[in-house]
Structure 1
Amino acid sequence: MFREAPPAGALAHIRALAGVGVELAVTGIGPVPAMRTLARWLLPLFALLVQACTSLAPRAPLPYEATLPDARDSPLGRLAQQVPAAGLSGFRLLPDGAFALDARLVLAQRAERTLDLQYYLFRCDAIGLAVLQALAQAAERGVRVRLLVDDLHVDDDDARFAAFAAHPNVQVRLFNPLPARGGGVLSRLVRSLPELRRINHRMHNKLFIADDSLSVSGGRNIGREYFMQDADANFIDMDILALGPVVREQSASFDRYWNSEHAYPIGALARTAPAAPLPAGPAALPDPGHAQDALGRARLSQELAAGPLDLIWAPGRVVADLPDKIARPESAQRFADSVTEHTLDLVRGAQRRVLIICPYFIPGKVGLDIMRDAQRRQVRTTLLTNALGATDEALVHFAYAGYRREVLRLGVEVYELGPDIARRLRKLGNFGRSQGRLHAKMAIVDETQMFIGSMNMDERSASVNTEVGLLIDSPALVRDFRRLMDGEHFRSAYRLRLGENDRLQWIDRDDDGREEVLDAEPGLHPWLRLKRWLLTPIVPEDLL
């Protein structure tokens, strides 16, 4: 089983450039004669573009910086030392966007030593500015702040990050930067074409660590659509609060990335330009409209103020790719000891039941073999992913769609989250008039073990991007998660089945349990049909 949802179509620019512009233009080989003709037209255009492209100089040597040795000498640190038994860490699921944002902001407000943040996408919208504001206020108190962001979507926020890094207690680094600065993603990619092979590898990790003691990790990036604040579409996501030994493992992983040769200080890259100052005063929080989340818990800010935290104690461990994964020349080398490999090992060991929740699912041969083995051993396997109308990456969905019949034949129960029917499940958040899109990345094995992190089950996560996650052995945490689900049949999703003549059917249930059978794929509009016909033969699956 071998993808983060960037802004809609952003990585599609990489795919279009790499799949059409580079491979077809250079080789002149296409699946049909029309594509070869297209390649002959593109070749001189790309030759002209390359002449205007820039390359990235090697990063200057920097002193090694580690987590501060006294980072846990703080109230948060002392809280993290109150573990009930050796080898246990405390965990709490954060399904609600407003509560997940509150957790990040209150950790920034209460940190006294260090704040380490690592994100694939950090938008400087209202949510991002609220986080930056909380970090700046922490820096004013003397807290060391380190912010590591993947460079792909930084775009014109160079100046904002550079101004933020001007504070003496703040450092900002960009991971695997594009040589071209300024402008949108497509413009920067075109001007960075000579290094397209390198910059196709991205840091997909998501971590927020306070005083080496408490952390928030999982699927959410920093941006309004990850916290139910977008007017058009919002992600159904999952984070997890952690306290105790696993946080020290996460800090060690952060240090490896921070000191990697692929992490460049913002000052070595950014164009100098004035940036608007951050707002003064406390950051404004979105109102969730309820005092407790779907699990009946208060905001972390309220729990920290009132007393003990409501946590589930369990053994857990961090699985994290090494930063040099992106530089390994062979796919097999990048897969070895990866987050994907560890997670697939967990799935392979299932004895009774597997639940996979993944927004971008392309199983490939390896995934099909695992499902075939599960069928042979009578392991019940369930998949929840996005329907075509919900996904923000149609090309990925088209690739996944090519596996659906075989997956169903292997006995897998397949559910696809629809953009509108997701609103029925109010446990997942208040969507208002916006669409719902699945973005959580989880696996549940035998109702006792859980993976939660940044990894999608596709080739990009396996051997192109870097990822991080947690493997937790806790029936109690799994039961907590199951409380969020709407029964065995996922009322918020279509159930797929094979009808007569092997035709796919989508089963929709209303609130009263009545079923409607759909013989045509929901959301497959004429424009998407044309897009599928044009692009699916061109873009290789391993670029999705």
Structure 2
Amino acid sequence: MVDAAKRGVNVRILIDKSATVFEFDEFYAEGLKPYGIEVRYYNAAPIYYVSTINFRNHRKLLVVDDREAITGGRNVENDYYDLSEHYNFLDRDLYVKGSIVKAMRASFDAFFEHEISERYQAPEIPSSRIELQKYERKVSDVKAFLAHNPHEAETRAKIEAIARPVLASKPLYSCPEMTFTSDAPGGSFWTRFKDPYSDNYRFLRKTIFDKVMTVDKGLILASPYLLNNRKSEHLMHVLLDKNIDMTLYTNSLSSTDATYVAAQLYTHVYDWQAKGMKVYLHAGEWLDEMTTISPSIQSARWGMHAKTQVYKRTGAGQNEIMVGTYNIDNRSNHYNAEMALFCRGNDLLVTEIEQSILSRANNGYQIVGKNQAVDSEGKAVNVYGAGDPDTTKMKFMWLPSWLFNFLL
């Protein structure tokens, strides 16, 4: 981005200032200022605003020149790019070209310009000697982070050698009917009570529910977290009662980064399986989809993070896919601002997405009964994919996860 700014590109960055994961602080924003890069923070409410801090910007978007865009589940962190030796995510993105990109950029503008997105305050030079040393150390760290160095160049070369041929091999598809949906910026404790919050802010869940209700053949859901509320639970049962072929691919206890979500998943998932849903769990292992830059990364723990849905309908050109940021949980339904792209009418694209989901799912294991699961060869495996202390921790998490289900 710095190199692009040096070429005269107008670079703007909007970062969700969630206290639990936020690292790109004002020192980094100040370090980018000389290059003309503008940084703003979405919802910088203090942590004691217990309700408002839950209204996060969960959207992930890269837009270039109003001509090209990428969205999907991926955050900007090593874990999402096969670069961590401890834990990595399998994700999915959709790259698009065409007139719809202008609408995506307009949604970025809406979030960037909204009053909830704050301009950063430059760090003040402290007067005390100890604090001054910390300040100078942080300034130095930022300069080192932004500077080119041999290790970075070597890593870039390794990534390029792996990724460029893969990218070149990917076909581009035409989408006869494309839909872009985004939630609105500005959700907070006050808007939840003052405004018609659902009508004015929550658009994506309505689009998804409308799409799902038109399914008459099959529904494939890939979501790293699955926590139903009353509406989604009802919708799921309606489809199962209609004998719609439903497939779910999500994380097991061994692969999730959220044990509290697994505690609720394992409470309900056997009932869904008994009603006819095919349920696959990621096994927490690296999948041989792509080479990594070092063997040690392959032995790390892996989770799935893709948010993808496939809608299968009767009639030519009616099948459809969704790729976006939406998890099937209460946060994505009620609090997080989300976005997604839908493409209907290109069966080749639908088939590629479907096969990608099922390939990953079949590399995990399938739930076949209460506390029972099998691998791709039909051999019985641990339904959790893990033993103590993970299972004990999950059991202790059940009560708090049940009590705070509405925030998960």
Q: Same fold (TM over 0.5)?
A: yes
Check the 8 A contact 1:363/1:403 in 2, yes or no: no
1:311 equivalent to 2:172? Answer yes
Choose from 45, 58, 61 the match for 1:204: 58
Shift of 1:401: 1.8
2:172 aligned partner, one-letter code: L
- Of 11, 26, 31, the residue aligned with 1:158 is 26
Q: Which position in structure 2 is the counterpart of 1:322?
A: 184
Letter of the structure 2 residue corresponding to residue 363 of structure 1: N
Q: TM-score, normalised by structure 2?
A: 0.83
Distance 2:50 2:234 in 1: 32
Query: How far off is 1:520 after superposition?
Result: 5.5
Aligned AA (1:351): D
Q: Is the 8 A contact 1:371 1:412 kept in 2?
A: no
Q: For residues 8-407 of structure 1, what are the structure 2 equivalents within 5 Å?
A: 135-152=1-18, 153-155=21-23, 157-167=25-35, 169-179=36-46, 192-193=47-48, 195-266=49-120, 268=121, 270=123, 273=135, 274=139, 275-277=142-144, 278-280=146-148, 284-285=156-157, 286-287=159-160, 289=162, 292-293=165-166, 297-298=167-168, 310-314=171-175, 315-327=177-189, 328-330=191-193, 333-336=196-199, 337-407=202-272
Q: Which runs of 5+ in 1 are unaligned?
A: 1-134, 180-191, 301-309
Q: Distance in 2 between matches of 1:520 and 1:137?
A: 48
Quickly say closer, same or farther: Cα 1:175–1:366, change in 2 above 3 A.
Answer: same
Contact 2:372 2:382 (8 Å CA) reproduced: yes
- Tell me how many residue pairs correspond in the alignment: 371
Amino acid at match of 1:516: K
Change (3 A) 1:543 1:270: farther
Does the alignment pair 1:506 with 2:373? yes
Structure 1 SS opposite 2:143? coil
Structure 2 vs 1, CA of residues 520 and 221 (structure 1 numbering), >3 Å: closer, same or farther?
closer
Partner residue, 1:464:
335
Cα drift, residue 365 of structure 1: 2.3
1:292 aligned counterpart, secondary structure: helix
Query: Residues 191-247 of structure 1: CA distance to partner in whole angstroms, max 9, x if unpaired?
Result: x32x12111211101000011110111111111111101111111000111111111
SS of 1:416 mapped into structure 2: strand
Q: Which amino acid aligns with 2:324?
A: G
| 3-state SS in 2 of match to 1:443 | strand
In 2, the alpha carbon distance for the partners of 1:462 and 1:158 equals: 30
- Could you list the per-position Cα deviations for residues 325-346 of structure 1 after superposition, in whole angstroms to 9, with x for gaps in the alignment? 3453259954444212211221
Q: Deviations over 1:304-360 (max 9, x none)?
A: xxxxxx421112121100002345325995444421221122112101000000001
C-alpha change, 1:289 and 1:143, in structure 2 (3 Å) is: closer
Q: What is the DSSP-based 3-state SS (H/G/I as helix, E as strand, rest coil) of the residue aligned with 1:173?
A: strand
Q: Closer, same or farther in 2 for the Cα pair 1:393/1:158, shift >3 Å?
A: same
Unmatched segments (≥5 aa) in structure 2: 126-134, 314-318
CA distance in 1, matches of 2:68, 2:397: 48
- In the TM superposition, residue 535 of structure 1 has moved relative to its aligned partner by 5.4
Q: How much has 1:290 moved relative to structure 2?
A: 6.8
Report deviation, 1:450: 0.8
Q: Distance in 1 between matches of 2:246 and 2:342?
A: 19
The 8 Å contact of residues 367 and 383 in structure 2, kept in 1 or not, is answered as no
Once residues 88 and 77 of structure 2 are traced to their aligned partners in structure 1, the CA distance between those partners, rounded to angstroms, is 10
Q: Which residue of 361, 379, 404 corresponds with 1:540?
A: 404
Please tell me the root mean square deviation across aligned C-alpha atoms, in Å.
Answer: 2.6
Name the SS of the counterpart of 1:419 in structure 2.
coil
Matches of 1:208 and 1:156 in 2, distance apart? 17
Q: Confirm or deny: 8 A CA contact 2:254 2:386 kept in the other structure.
A: yes
Q: Secondary structure of 1:144's partner?
A: coil
Q: Is the contact made by 2:321 and 2:353 (CA closer than 8 Å) also made in structure 1?
A: no
- The answer on whether the counterparts of 2:185 and 2:337 sit within 8 Å (CA) in structure 1 is yes
**Percent same amino acid at aligned positions?**
22
